[in-house]
Amino acid sequence: MSNLYNQIVIFGDSLTQFSHNAFEKGWGAALQYSYIRKLDVLNRGFSGYNTELAKHLLPQLLPKKNNPTKNPKVFLLIIFFGANDAAIQPSVQHVSLEKYKENLKQMINIIKDPDSPYHSPETRILLVTPPPLNEEARVKHKGLKDRKSDVTAKYAQACVDLANELNVPVLNLWKLMTDKVTLTNVTLNDLLSDGIHFSSLGNETLFHELLDTIRKNWPELDPDNLKPLTHLWTELNYEINLEQQVNSLEFNIINQLGDSL
């Protein structure tokens, strides 16, 4: 019997790694809570990593196709890099704009290319752009200028451009947060705790947009449209065999999304 729920994999740098911080309303934990009893949200965040490292790591995080074993399905892969690629030289984190786009493309192809050992038609992909940088706060926190606001903006745009080229959904976090600062009373300091990482408000902002983006692009993955894998306790008939009633977990995992793709 299988013990593993199907998955949403969130793959990124510290903006993902830190997203399970329950004391800052982490967006990853909030996403996991939205899918409780339905899907596991696996945090595959790697602080400091750029796409140059990520492209080598990704295949190790994915099930191989044609694997005879019953792997859980990855229904959604969120790829969320760029904040470190945008570091300026001589930072070792720096990756050129062109290379950043190329690396993102390679990661997408690991899933989409029918010849890839990790080809998976059931895996939806969502790109997330880096958020805007609060240069002043970053310098204050880090003690040096290793990133520039207008450079990060270019990486965000490159991510959007690539998504459009490849027809992959994208959450433009740079625009979302920049608009919020321009159009409301919220400041970048309210959204980012140290110029680059999310505050509670930043986490909440991303989380809500993420759910909206999922709902819009893949209504079948809307948590409200997914049934829990096990009966609610109020649905059970306590007068008859309980074991039979709770014994359908494996079946439900295997058939969770039916033929929605």
Which residues are known catalytic residues?
14, 194, 197
**Of 8, 2, 40, the residue nearest 123 (C-alpha):** 8
- The sign of the CA dihedral 11, 17, 18, 21 is positive
Instruction: Count Cβ atoms below 10 Å from residue 21 Cβ, excluding itself.
Output: 16
Q: Where are the alpha helices (DSSP H) in the chain?
A: 14-17, 27-34, 51-61, 97-112, 135-142, 149-166, 173-183, 188-191, 200-217, 242-245, 249-254
232 forms part of the interface with a second copy (CB under 8 A): yes
Give, as ranges, the residues between 77 and 116 that touch a second copy (CB under 8 A): 84, 92-93
- Closest distance of CB 91 from a second copy, Å: 10
| Length of the chain in terms of residues written | 261
The structure tokens listed for 208 are 């809500």
255 forms part of the interface with a second copy (CB under 8 A): no
45 forms part of the interface with a second copy (CB under 8 A): yes
Q: Which of 96, 187, 225, 247 binds a second copy (CB under 8 A)?
A: 247
Which residues touch 122 (CB under 8 Å, ≥6 apart)?
A: 73, 74, 75, 257, 261
Distance of CA 241 to the CA centre of its chain: 41
Give, as ranges, the residues between 176 and 205 that touch a second copy (CB under 8 A): 203
151 forms part of the interface with a second copy (CB under 8 A): no
The structure tokens listed for 1 are 């019997």
Q: Which CB sits closer to a second copy, 86 or 153?
A: 86
46 forms part of the interface with a second copy (CB under 8 A): yes
- Closest distance of CB 139 from a second copy, Å: 20
142 forms part of the interface with a second copy (CB under 8 A): no
Q: Contact positions toward a second copy, by CB under 8 A? A: 1, 3-5, 17, 20-23, 25-27, 29-30, 32-33, 36-37, 40, 42-43, 45-49, 52-53, 56-57, 59-64, 69-71, 84, 92-93, 203, 230, 232-234, 236, 238, 242-243, 246-247, 249-250
